[in-house]
Amino acid sequence: MGLFVLAMLQNGLAGGVIFGWASIDTTILSASDESGGAGLTLHETTLIFSRASSVAMLSSLILGILLDSYGPRVCSIISSCIIVVGCHIFASSHHFTGTSIGACLIGFGGPGITSSII
């Protein structure tokens, strides 16, 4: 239980630095549409990161079943496809909903690739 709490704290406190969220949070996502950004508020970008982090933590449960049932190659391919779709949605969206869905898909697929490599 202690390791679980430590993992949650680490992700909450250092996840943005490790995954680069801090660099896009105050620049690309908050820039106006005219400047090529998404024009999101700080509150919206924080919500996106929180949702994507939560989905990433829960996806291991689902992708773990896929990994155990079909092996690392299938899990890695499916996770990579989920990330590709998420990157496309994230990059092409200029609104909160699309950006949030894209980030959640990227967060969902990431642990599947990591688990497959291990």
Q: Is 5 exposed, middle or buried (0-12, 13-18, 19+ CB in 10 A)?
A: exposed
Tell whether the model's pLDDT for residue 18 goes beyond 70. no
What is the tens place of the pLDDT at every residue in 54-74?
A: 899 899 889 989 999 999 999
Q: What predicted TM-score, i.e. pTM, was given to this entire model?
A: 0.74
Name 117's Cβ contacts closer than 8 Å, sequence gap at least 6: 72, 76
